Structure 1
């Protein structure tokens, strides 16, 4: 079995319902903001910290909506799987400025299936969002 990377990921939407995806420096794949938890850090706290570091947005962990755990191929680490605890922020957000390791941000529809979108988004998160 391939190595598994544990992460937290966050679904951020605009007023039109599109989902914000990010692309890290030196990569080609677009994914939901988030990242790996620090030792002893909860999934919710990791999600809040990563969004603050990557996008400058302040989220309240108590308001995050838990969308469960999802397993998919890692977008930028060949031969790895990602096990993501996915959260959704309940309020629309404006387009944030990329920071830290994030080079670009982009809004996509939940129906988007472009080849440069992370398998976690296209195979797990977007279908779940479309059903709800």
Structure 2
């Protein structure tokens, strides 16, 4: 199976909720982030993607590495995503841009009605819930 290497953010707002995004023309909500370009570190890719997609200006040194996760890609059939996940606490407003069609802030229990990407549903949200209850 082909692998897409991505960097993604568990963005935590001041109220403790986390941000999910949905790309234009797709159904699944997922963490903000994107593909890691050749020669780019995961943290640098994340900062670039958050700026392009949400207008966020973040310092890569503030990104806390949470781990590496893999799952079937939500939007690319036949692909797996390999995700370097970082936590970022943000107080800035987000402005959907580039390919982002919709953003939603959710709490640990508020995702039942959303169509979630496998990585988000199976790995990242359970981690988020464990962090929130810690």
| Contact map agreement 2:63 2:86 (CA 8 A) in 1 | yes
| Cα shift at 1:115 | 5.4
Counterpart in the other structure of 2:91:
93
Structure 1 residue 125 corresponds to structure 2 residue 124: yes
1:47 paired residue number: 46
Moved over 4 A (4+): none
CA offsets 1:84-113 (integer angstroms, 9 cap, x no match): 000010x34344110011111111223324
Distance 1:95 1:60 in 2: 16
Partner of 1:76: 75
Change (3 A) 1:16 1:48: same
Shift of the 64–73 alpha-carbon distance from structure 1 to 2, 3 Å rule, reads: same
Partners of 2:117 and 2:91 in 1: CA distance: 21
Match of 2:60 in 1: 61
Provide TM-score, normalisation by structure 1. 0.91
Structure 2: distance between partners of 1:3 and 1:19: 29
User: C-alpha distance in 2, partners of 1:122/1:114?
Assistant: 12
Contact 1:12 1:93 in 2 (8 A): no
Question: C-alpha root-mean-square deviation of aligned residues, in Å?
Answer: 1.4
- Distance in 2 (CA, whole Å) between partners of 1:55 and 1:115 is 20
CA–CA distance in structure 2, aligned partners of residues 78 and 84 of structure 1: 17
Higher share in strand = 2
Equivalent pair of 1:113/1:122 in contact (CA under 8 Å): no
